[in-house]
């Protein structure tokens, strides 16, 4: 399950783990104009952990989801080149 909210300066997507137990904490994705942040509460440290991705890193992640093992660089119209 997930939710989408549009704030003034970001789109916020929350991924809720509604699968089988044990369930993971929600993942909150904030899409800003120039970066994307992913946050998740870590019960072991009792802190929210945050990762920040540039738009280029997000583009690469999107491409990587559909590719086999290897090292790639996106060229031209974002076409992967091995």
Per-residue pLDDT tens for 25-40?
Answer: 999 999 999 999 999 9
Q: Return d(Cα 25, Cα 45) in angstroms, integer.
A: 13
Indicate the SS3 state at residue 58.
helix
pLDDT of 82 higher than 70: no
pLDDT of 55 higher than 70: yes
Q: What is the reported pLDDT for 2?
A: 93
Sheet holding 2-6, edge to edge: 2-6, 11-15, 27-31, 35-42, 47-54
pTM given for the model: 0.82
Q: Return d(Cα 28, Cα 19) in angstroms, integer.
A: 17
Q: Which has more confidence, 70 or 48?
A: 48
Q: What is the reported pLDDT for 27?
A: 97
């Amino acid at each position: 399950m997930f939710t989408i909210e549009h704030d003034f300066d970001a789109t916020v997507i929350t991924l809720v783990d509604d699968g089988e137990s044990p369930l993971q904490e929600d993942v909150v994705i904030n899409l800003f104009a120039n970066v994307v942040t992913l946050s998740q509460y870590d019960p072991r440290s009792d802190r929210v952990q945050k990762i920040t991705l540039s738009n280029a890193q997000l583009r690469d992640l999107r491409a990587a989801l559909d590719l086999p093992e290897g090292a790639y660089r996106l060229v031209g119209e974002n076409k992967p080149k091995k």
